[in-house]
Chain A
């Protein structure tokens, strides 16, 4: 390809060097005195002040929300723990019948529904399970090897004891 007449034939710069034209232009620009109008200066300064003033406000807001989030998390976790510890299982009957002797030592084995006292509902629960054929051998309270009306009667008599 032929060079145009206006083209300045210069040595081709290597890859890591700027073209001489650019270097010259940069040198000239460096020698020039740039005059920034005072109005522009003041505007930049005012914007900078405004921005710097807003930083503590944002930081305070962020800190407040961080604290709020942390406190509400702790409260929520505590509430859930308390609710889980004090709440009853949804189906107490099934839970009790599946593990009749898993109760703490201070709960009577005859307290089938584990409501804290032996009442007629405990005898009724055994009777219903006996009828449905799902009675547990743990309810053989007179230990005669059979779960029958005698065991139910023992629970019922506990319920009406004076």
Chain B
């Protein structure tokens, strides 16, 4: 018994079956469209990483000291062409006093930052490069000079908002801070 005969036996017009199959196809297409990964929205839920910079036990409460903090971005095997991150101290008594570029020639120049970040405890740093040679893997992209007051350790929150490769497409990457050894 063919489909047409079966449909007639059940009293269902073949055109309705065709319409419902078309509907199902449209629904699948719509759901597929909705579930398409939106690569540009990944920044919104990127968690902040917290890094503690050790204090100096022999330092007085009113004394200040200067430290350099290295910022590393690890883009894995993909070349890193652009990044943007925000860095903030959780406690007062921290002032950003200088910003340097990274270790790779593509990011050797100091990244972009708002001058108001100086003598502040928060900064947004960003840079890009159109060079042919770009860093991949874990690479130091900036060095931030900081003035600390008091002997206590300080915690920094860092959130990598943008990491992209040569065509401007976002790539997965991680950010980390370490106290620089000068």
Point out residues on A near B: beta carbons under 8 Å: 58-59, 61-62, 65-66, 68-69, 72-73, 75-77, 79-80, 82-84, 86-88, 92-93, 113, 115, 119-121, 123-125, 127-128, 131, 153, 156-157, 159-162
Contacts and interface: CB of A to CB of B under 8 A. Distances in A.
Q: Residue among A73, A77, A79 with the most chain B CB within 10 A?
A: A79
Contacts of B11: 58-59, 61-62
Contacts of A61: 10-12
A72 B117 contact: no
Contact of A120 (B24, B40, B83): B83
Contact of B114 (A76, A93, A123, A160): A160
A32 to B, nearest CB: 41
Nearest to B26: A76
B27 A79 contact: yes
What size tier do the contact residues of chain B reach? 35 or more
B106 interface: no
Nearest to A60: B11
Q: Is the interface of B mostly helix, strand, loop or mixed?
A: mixed
Nearest to A123: B128
A62 B82 contact: no
Given A79-B31, A159-B126, A124 B19 contact: no
B33 A87 contact: yes
A81 B164 CA distance: 32
Contacts of A127: 128, 130
Q: Nearest 10 A-B pairs (CB), nearest first?
A: A79-B30, A120-B126, A76-B26, A124-B128, A58-B11, A83-B33, A72-B23, A76-B23, A83-B30, A160-B124
Interface in B57-105: 81-84
B38 A68 contact: no
A77 B12 contact: no
Given A61-B12, A72-B23, A128-B168, A159 B84 contact: yes
A62 B113 contact: no
A58 B10 CA distance: 7
Interface string B151-164: 00000000001101
Contacts of A59: 11
B66 to A, nearest CB: 22
Contacts of B123: 160, 162
Given A120-B82, A162-B122, 16 more contacts: A61-B10, A61-B12, A79-B30, A79-B31, A80-B30, A113-B40, A115-B41, A119-B126, A125-B168, A127-B130, A157-B114, A160-B124, A161-B114, A162-B114, A162-B120, A162-B123
B30 A72 contact: no
A113 B38 CA distance: 13
A129 B13 CA distance: 57
A79 B26 CA distance: 8
B144 interface: no
A125 B166 CA distance: 10
B3 interface: no
B44 to A, nearest CB: 10
Contact of B20 (A68, A87, A125, A153): A68
Nearest to A68: B20
Contact of A62 (B12, B112, B117, B126): B12
